[in-house]
């Protein structure tokens, strides 16, 4: 999976952050977990930046290509990942990736005008964010990792979560 990081004006003229030309917008009326419990896990609007992983034991490599002139520290919730490599430019030298004993982290920097390759195994049923720091998160630089949605649907959410989601639909 390859994700290109970019910053530019949206249709309203506001500078936003984009992953593959999609800027994350939360949906407080129909949040991701609610959508999954409703059986609509495969029906996300593009701006939810939702990526579904439904194969147990799958190994996923995420290649971030940063077209921006600033570094971007990315943090992944729900996992630690292996950093296989990073470098300058937009061409990833696959032969230089360390697949033997790579460092394991939950945060890694995507260098300015560069790339980073992360590897993880989506084996933790749930919805987890992978995002840049708070200011760029607010600008839309987030993707949702939806892991094993069929297992999520079998979970029994706590009543407090159900009550909170009911409150959100009032606004």
pLDDT value of residue 165: 67
- Report the pLDDT value the prediction gives residue 41, as an integer from 0 to 100: 83
Given a contact cutoff of 8 angstroms between Cβ atoms, the answer to whether 148 and 122 are in contact is yes
Rounded distance between C-alpha atoms, residue 69 and residue 111, angstroms: 8
3-state secondary structure 64-114: EEECCCCCEEEEECCCCEEEEEEEECCCCCHHHCCCCCCEEECEEEECCCE
What pLDDT, in 10s, does the model give residues 110-166? 999 999 999 999 999 999 999 888 888 888 899 999 999 999 999 888 888 777 766
Q: Is the pLDDT of residue 46 over 80?
A: yes
Q: Which residue has the tokens 């979560």?
A: 161
Degrees, nearest 5: CA angle 22-128-71: 55
Q: Are 46 and 22 in contact (CB under 8 A)?
A: yes
User: Using 50, 70 and 90 to split pLDDT, how confident is the model at 171?
Assistant: very low
Q: Which of 62, 73, 67, 61 is nearest to 114 (CA)?
A: 67
Token reading at 73: 């520290």
pLDDT at 167 over 80: no
Element at 9 (helix H, strand E): strand 2-9
Domain that holds residue 89: 2-168
Q: How far apart are CA 43 and CA 25, in angstroms?
A: 15
132-152 as b/e, with b when 16 or more CB fall inside 10 Å? Answer: beeebeebbbbbbbbbbbeeb
Neighbour count for residue 131 (Cβ, 10 Å): 24
Summarize the confidence of residues 23-32 as an average pLDDT: 87
Provide the CATH number for the domain around residue 158: 2.60.40.420
50-103, pLDDT tens digit by residue?
999 999 889 999 999 999 999 999 999 999 999 999 999 999 989 999 999 999
Instruction: Report the domain count for the chain.
Output: 1
pTM, full prediction: 0.89
Q: What are the structure tokens assigned to 145, written together?
A: 């990792």
DSSP class of 123: -
Q: What is the DSSP letter of 134?
A: H
Q: What sign for the dihedral angle of Cα 111, 114, 117, 123?
A: positive
């Amino acid at each position: 999976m390859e994700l290109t990081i970019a910053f530019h004006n949206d249709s309203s003229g506001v500078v936003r952050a984009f992953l593959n030309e999609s800027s994350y917008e939360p949906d407080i009326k129909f949040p991701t977990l609610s959508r999954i419990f409703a059986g609509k896990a495969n029906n996300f609007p593009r701006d939810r930046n939702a990526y579904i992983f439904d194969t147990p034991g799958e190994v996923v490599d995420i290649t971030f290509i940063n077209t921006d002139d600033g570094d971007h520290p990315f943090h992944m919730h729900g996992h630690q990942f292996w950093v296989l490599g990073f470098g300058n430019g937009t061409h990833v030298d696959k032969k230089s990736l360390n697949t033997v004993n790579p460092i394991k982290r939950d945060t890694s920097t995507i260098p300015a005008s560069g790339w980073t390759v992360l590897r993880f195994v989506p084996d933790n049923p749930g919805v987890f964010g992978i995002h840049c720091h708070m200011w760029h998160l607010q600008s839309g630089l987030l993707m949702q990792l939806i892991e094993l949605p069929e297992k999520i649907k079998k979970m029994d959410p706590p009543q407090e979560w159900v009550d909170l989601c009911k409150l959100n639909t009032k606004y």
